[in-house]
Amino acid sequence: MRAKKTLIGIAIGTVIGVGGIVAMNAASSPPQGIGVPQDRLTPCPNSPNCVSTDASDPDHKIEPLPLADTEQRTIELIASSVGALPGSRSVLTKDNYLHFEFRSPWLKFVDDVEFLIDAEKNLVHMRSASRFGRSDLGVNRKRMEEIRSRYEAALRTISVPQEEMVATKKAGDAAMPDEQDEFATVQKSDAEWRKLLTPEQYQVARKHGTERAFTGPNWDNKAPGVYSCVCCGLPLFSSETKYESGTGWPSFWDPIKETSVETQPDVSFFSRRTEVHCRRCKAHLGHVFEDGPDPTGLRYCMNGVAMRFEPAEKSDAKPESNEK
């Protein structure tokens, strides 16, 4: 009888303890200075569960990330690298500052991960810290190195050498510039695609995967530019046809050209949909639905990791005056 009461007491205490931790974490908020865009990231406290590029001691120090070719591309690659990890949630992206949260699957311990792009020094400052009393016990450095690995792998995919393009034209035909050759295709082995792409890009573009909503790059990007295939660089969609669909994926009402994409029936997951893939390399991009806006009534719901955003060049030229 005494043993039974002891077990019941332990069970009740466990339920109360776990429930209290879950409730405490559900109501948690970032410490002061975290999640606030400013000139520098908040310094790490004297805790093993915080790492930062600005830390002075080796126990807290991590190396910064290099910038991509543009600040927008850097933001895109960071969002993609972080969004691929389980438990991540984007909290804020403002100018050159990004803030994410990571919640563990069990007791919902919360970690804050921040990035600050420093264009003058050509690097990205990083900081990851567990909220006080809600620690995942030392996973911060490991997580940041995983983000670094994915980010640097994505950097290597920014440019696809033109000499790797394989034309399907007849032997002896004169080679045409890639953007003018409507018959050019890109063919690679599975091993070559794995080497060229990040794990997330490969899973989506070559294995017909789907990124989680509101986690991929450019779903909320409003900058002018062109969205190209991440595998072969073919221009696919323009920002002029992009719109906010509320789905958490980049959505467009029309491709740049009819020959930019191809479609085919998709009957996976016990449903019938229309898959969209790149015409040139057959990369899986997403699906098209008939619930979009005018003038086409279509919604090309694309995966952000399957495309690369190329910002429009800013013109500094002043209009010529008509005065004589």
Which distant-in-sequence residues (6+ apart) come within 8 Å of 308 by Cβ? 73, 76, 158, 227, 228, 229, 230, 233
CA distance 167 to 171: 10
Catalytic annotation, pick one of 50, 229, 278, 301: 301
3-state secondary structure of 191: helix
CA–CA separation, 106 vs 164, rounded Å?
Answer: 46
Query: Which secondary structure element, helix H or strand E, spans residue 14, and what is its range?
Result: helix 2-26
* Assigned token pair, 255: 């491709």
Omega prior to 86 cis, within 30 of 0: no
Give the distance, in angstroms, between the CA of residue 268 and the centroid of all CA atoms in the same chain.
25
From the list 104, 99, 100, the residue with the least C-alpha distance to 139 is: 104
CB atoms within 10 A of CB 145: 13
Residue in the block written with tokens 């830390």:
55
198 by Cβ neighbours in 10 Å (0-12 / 13-18 / 19+) ranks as buried
* Structure tokens, 230: 């991440």
Number of Cβ within 10 Å of residue 115's Cβ equals 27
- Active site annotation includes 301: yes
Residues recognised as catalytic:
301
